[in-house]
Structure 1
């Protein structure tokens, strides 16, 4: 059977016997009982093979990318919930997280931007608001994972942002009704059985070659008991386990604030993670907070604030900036003084790496970012040099002996 319609939900079952006609460019198959409407690309057919009764499609039609994002994101928040013991949320795009956070305080900047009450701090809603606010440029059209059953407040928030899908271990009836109306009824809602324990081996088939390996179920944080900001380190390690390698992440206060994913060398991972984290921090400065324009949609405003923080405006965009916000903002845009002063106020960040740190340039860059704790597998021929560089900068250097590559 394919994706079978029940009374009010659909389960993903055995697709054996379903015709495998190619899906046309509009994503529609001539087969009446079809599997997924879209594949990796609209011209590629895709389907679930085998019994997957531990996930239920409550609304929408998942694509291959939807499944990859949602299942990876669910495993991430499940691991975070287990490791840290707090509700967790992840915002996923293109098979890597854009932001991850546990429930905690919603700062004034995020509360104003996302129009949420700071009284929601500590709730499941706060976990997703904090996760989405990490990199809102990347989270535009994300797949959302929640470690707890989705409540009404969280569903109402999801209903007001641009997102494609959500997975959670349950939905309150009113919350489900809200989500089912999103995107004119096409928003993807998937429920997962939180008690499901996946097989010990996982497999992929590529170019006619079937590959199998043991599932990565190593315990996180076994060697981090004495590490400062242990929960932030655990959050970072769980994030890296489901981020395309090479990867580095930077976090603080229960949020992964910068993720450098899928780079071919580690220092680029570090630089990318650091840039994203710095952008998050700069967005909290009054100069960037003061950027407002009448009737400017929230995402457009966010994109301008991020460009301003990153100093990535083209010549044409610089002219647009002056027209939108006033010519006086150009002096602030070009002035490095306030940026340096603001950056100097920030410290206490935890940096985690999925593979060993090969050279001290990563550590030197981390020190500039305000990293005070560095967690990596260790085991490199240069680990002693990395440790010495960390000590030179006053950074706590913790090695786990655990590589967390993910592809």
Structure 2
């Protein structure tokens, strides 16, 4: 397969060649139905497809992911969509179908980062999801199939350049991963350990209800397909904060925690009630809501916000240390937290507690694992040790 370019436009030519893994494997894991992929497009598609396939298999529900730069911006299982979120995506009063709901929930986890994403879904794309994607800034989608109407509709997007990729659910990858880097060929056995409820049996402290176990499993699948170090906050089947690619794990915890607070503040009634001038585009509205939720607008941004709003800005939630803002953030609870590596210090637990975390899953095995467990007990958290590290580089 000839690619438009490599990681950067100056890296030409670029291509992708299927690896023979057995009879009938020559076609590779996916095929292009429309558009011309770049190197990063394929990396996002392959990562996204593996994530949603694994999540749907482990949890028995349709799954979706919004991939950007080889890590998920958001991932979610099918579930309820809030009325104002549905309205923001141009949906009517009827509840969206399971696959559409999964993608809306995944994209809305971090809608600023999802701008120009590559969507991945676990089930065949129907006309409803295709129609939704037609109105969003999205570069492409990977799925195990499409209705004829969905392919036709998506192929018209972006002046015919929208990338439509079909994954082969029956494809079996080779048992060995191979990577060439600066003149060296590195090989390793493929990590094919299944993510399932059997990983959550070592409950060190606290209790683990089924809904929390589901969220922890989704978090573990997500960090498996996120650049390490990585942690993931999950609530009700939605990733509400993902921290990726940080050298320090506590930096991942704090980064993902801030995203979790932003996700929650976007649900504050004052932020939801913001009314924009009709000329303001959807993504600009999203970006303004995110900035208001973050609570640290610059003086220039405050004045710019006044120009696009109908009515005054929601001053009660703009101040980062405002009492109303703190009261709302204190209401956040029921969050699950998954880590791709062992928590090396109890500071991860202390920071996670600030963001409503009630359940933690991590491999264990750190020399300070006892102190991490005592920190969880002190915070009233449940700690589960999986014994499984999930680094991805």
Report the TM-score range of the alignment, normalised by the length of the smaller protein.
Answer: over 0.9
8 Å CA contact 1:144–1:167 kept in 2: the answer is yes
Question: Unaligned 5+ residue runs, structure 2?
Answer: 19-25
**2:304 aligned residue (302, 315, 320):** 320
TM normalised by structure 2 equals: 0.92
8 Å CA contact 2:175–2:189 kept in 1: the answer is yes
**1:137 aligned residue (89, 102, 112):** 112
Residue 140 of structure 2 aligns to a residue in which SS? strand
8 Å CA contact 1:111–1:117 kept in 2: the answer is yes
Is the aligned partner of 1:307 residue 2:287? no
8 Å CA contact 1:149–1:170 kept in 2: the answer is yes
Supply the distance in 1 between the matched residues of 2:384 and 2:148 (Cα, whole angstroms).
45
**1:208 aligned residue (165, 177, 183):** 183
Shift of residue 323, structure 1, vs aligned partner? 3.2
4+ residue stretches of structure 1 with deviation over 6 A?
none
**1:49 aligned residue (13, 17, 31):** 17
2:342 aligns with: 356
1:181 aligns with: 156
**1:195 aligned residue (170, 174, 182):** 170
Supply the distance in 2 between the matched residues of 1:118 and 1:233 (Cα, whole angstroms).
31
Supply the distance in 1 between the matched residues of 2:130 and 2:324 (Cα, whole angstroms).
38
**1:223 aligned residue (199, 205, 209):** 199
1:292 aligns with: 275
Supply the distance in 2 between the matched residues of 1:332 and 1:97 (Cα, whole angstroms).
28
Is the aligned partner of 1:147 residue 2:122? yes
Question: Unaligned 5+ residue runs, structure 1?
Answer: 4-34
Aligned length: 374
1:62 aligns with: 37
Q: Deviations over 1:166-212 (max 9, x none)?
A: 00001000011010000010000010110111111111101110001
Trace 1:91-130 onto structure 2 (pairs within 5 A): 91-117=66-92, 119-121=94-96, 123-130=98-105
Q: Deviations over 1:147-184 (max 9, x none)?
A: 00000001110111000010000100001101000001
My pick for the range that moved more, 269-278 or 181-190, is 269-278
Shift of residue 327, structure 1, vs aligned partner? 4.8
Shift of residue 320, structure 1, vs aligned partner? 1.3
Supply the distance in 2 between the matched residues of 1:118 and 1:251 (Cα, whole angstroms).
26
**Cα pair distance change 1:352/1:54, threshold 3 Å:** closer
Alignment RMSD, CA only?
1.5
Shift of residue 403, structure 1, vs aligned partner? 0.4
TM normalised by structure 1 equals: 0.89
Is the aligned partner of 1:87 residue 2:73? no
